[in-house]
Amino acid sequence: MDERRKKQIEEGRTALGIELGSTRIKAVLVGEDNVPLAAGSHEWENRLENGIWTYTLDDIWRGLRDCYKKLAQEVHTRYGVILRKTGAMGFSAMMHGYMVFDKDGELLVPFRTWRNTMTAEAAERLTTLFGYPIPQRWSIAHLYQAILNKESHIPKIACLTTLAGYVHWKLTGRKVLGVGEASGMFPIDTKTGSYQERMMAQFDALSEAPWRLRDILPSVLTAGEAAGKLTEEGARLLDADGNLEAGILFCPPEGDAGTGMVATNSVAKRTGNISAGTSVFAMVVLEKELTKAYEEIDLVTTPSGEPVAMVHCNNCTSDLNAWVNLFAECLDSFGCQAGKDELYGTLYKKALEGEADCGGLLAYNYVSGEPVTGFDEGRALFVRTPKARFTLANFMRVHLFTSLGALKTGMDILLKKENVKIDRLLGHGGLYKTPGVGQRVTAAAMNAPVSVMETAGEGGAWGIALLASYMLHREEGETLAEYLSRRVFADTESVTVKPKPSDVAGFEAFMERYTKGLAIEKAAIESLSEV
């Protein structure tokens, strides 16, 4: 047993981060050196109810308690310590979506997640009004769509927040958001670090609601600021065993985009990261504003408020995972056993044996809508011509390629039209779990070197733990970028894969086929109804 780390835990010289992702809630406890000491997780899945992708409040709290319990159990098993306190805590979650509450704190309608693509009219009108891109998944688009739909709950709204903001509120009593998370609710003025005043006034005039927007949105904080303390009620909500003590300091709640930037040391200008799992998004910290607004590009911020161009796609590995599960079922039918990691690793590596352009195969991973390519709904498809080379290697390769197809559509705008420069691009998420494969595919798509750090597997939960640690330990005037580079990543090793010219050419050939074939996806949506 490491007595030094045990003492840190006993004395509360640690930081805890918990992130609610699309399929997993994860907790990471770090020591004073920001190295993970213990972790816990809980698997969960959103559900489609009455045409809405949602999680219930019971899902949220049951999942959080289970996740925390597993973390506390690991702490006790490894260090013989009952986890009672930490130096700081922070929560993050998948960004955007719609959670509205009345004056008594009651949820007015079921949580509408980022995955819903039912706000096209609102997003289009607001983009025109503001002269600023408003994606469908942003909270303000959901709010205005509900107004356009004349939903009965609108007059009762006293609070609009995100999943991370909701959890933070219930644990601390404060309705606040980190600026990175807030930038996915409503446009941020990077000069003031808060919501755009002009646009809020425009929205209020447009909506004619019985409240002002500024009165229902959470307050905005930047990285390093204190965001409240754990209340007695909050401690009991999180720790069903009753061991966790109140009074723990909280950092501002952030979104998974911001924590991904932190976890990959991508908060400085000309750095970028790609998070690839159930959904996929790329973040690039800009040197200057873009020349124009693009509906495919979101403008958000780092947790410190620096401007960021973001390409967010609803679909990444869900359909690929479904195919891997089918192969697992096939093996089981023959009485063959293969572990999950072995199966994924073998099939992913098989893709590297495929032809550069996937042998003429075509696939779309659209389990849900994909606004970047213009779809409100999705149908997962696999298509081939009689002359296409239908091999296992090409099959796996095309599904890896299509996982990044929509992302490349958006990123090409930044890289080819806006000439945005990226010094460092880091990958994290499930796509990069098999060494070298996801990196090689991403390098081909972006035509740029892609690195994966040895800490990338810790993901956003580690990222929010680092933000909590930064709040505790930063020196006067020390920026988040400086803190990460000096105190977290100075000795971190990474593996970099450079793009192979043949892979780049193959991906471009695939994208030509992918773009032309979008008409097939449209026909499938028109012809195949949801069942």
Q: Please list, in sequence order, all residues whose beta carbon lies within 8 angstroms of the beta carbon of residue 4, skipping any fewer than 6 positions away.
A: none
H or E element at residue 428: strand 424-428
Taking the CA atoms of residue 201, residue 207, residue 212 and residue 216 in that order, the dihedral angle to the nearest 10 degrees is -120
Q: Could you tell me which residue, 400 or 293, shows the higher pLDDT? A: 400
- Count of C-beta atoms within a 10 Å radius of residue 490: 9
- Both structure tokens of 438: 């996801």
Which amino acid is it at 422?
I
pLDDT tens readout for residues 311-346: 989 999 999 999 999 999 999 999 998 999 999 999
For residues 142 and 151, give the distance between their C-alpha atoms in angstroms, rounded to a whole number. 11
Average pLDDT over residues 148-177: 98
For residues 420 and 286, give the distance between their C-alpha atoms in angstroms, rounded to a whole number. 8
The pLDDT assigned to 172 comes to: 98
For residues 174 and 271, give the distance between their C-alpha atoms in angstroms, rounded to a whole number. 32
Average pLDDT over residues 338-358: 96
For residues 306 and 265, give the distance between their C-alpha atoms in angstroms, rounded to a whole number. 14
| 362: pLDDT strictly greater than 80 | yes
| 223: pLDDT strictly greater than 70 | yes
| 456: pLDDT strictly greater than 60 | no
For residues 24 and 460, give the distance between their C-alpha atoms in angstroms, rounded to a whole number. 11
pLDDT tens readout for residues 389-447: 999 999 999 999 999 999 999 999 999 999 999 888 998 888 998 999 999 999 999 99
Full set of structural domains in the chain with CATH: 264-315+407-497 (3.30.420.40), 318-403+501-527 (no CATH)
Reduced to 3 states (helix: H, G, I; strand: E, B; else coil), residue 453 is strand
Q: Which residue has the tokens 């909270």?
A: 139
Q: How many residues does the chain have?
A: 531
For residues 68 and 449, give the distance between their C-alpha atoms in angstroms, rounded to a whole number. 37
37 phi/psi in degrees, rounded to 5: -100, -35
The pLDDT assigned to 458 comes to: 62
Average pLDDT over residues 159-175: 98
Give the strand pairing for 249-250 and 88-93. parallel
Average pLDDT over residues 120-146: 95
Reduced to 3 states (helix: H, G, I; strand: E, B; else coil), residue 526 is helix
For residues 139 and 439, give the distance between their C-alpha atoms in angstroms, rounded to a whole number. 32
- Both structure tokens of 232: 């007695």
| 113: pLDDT strictly greater than 70 | yes
Residue-wise burial string across 448-463, b where 16 or more C-beta atoms lie within 10 A, e elsewhere = bbbbbbebbbbbbbbb
Q: Which residue has the tokens 């723990």?
A: 248
DSSP 203-255: HHHHH--SS-HHHHSPEEE-TTS---B--HHHHHHH-TTS-PPS--EEPPPEE
pLDDT band at 455 (very low <50, low <70, confident <90, very high): low
DSSP 298-316: EEEE-TT--EEEEEEES-S
- Both structure tokens of 81: 């310590």
Q: Which residue has the tokens 């009593």?
A: 173
The pLDDT assigned to 1 comes to: 62
Give the strand pairing for 424-428 and 271-276. parallel
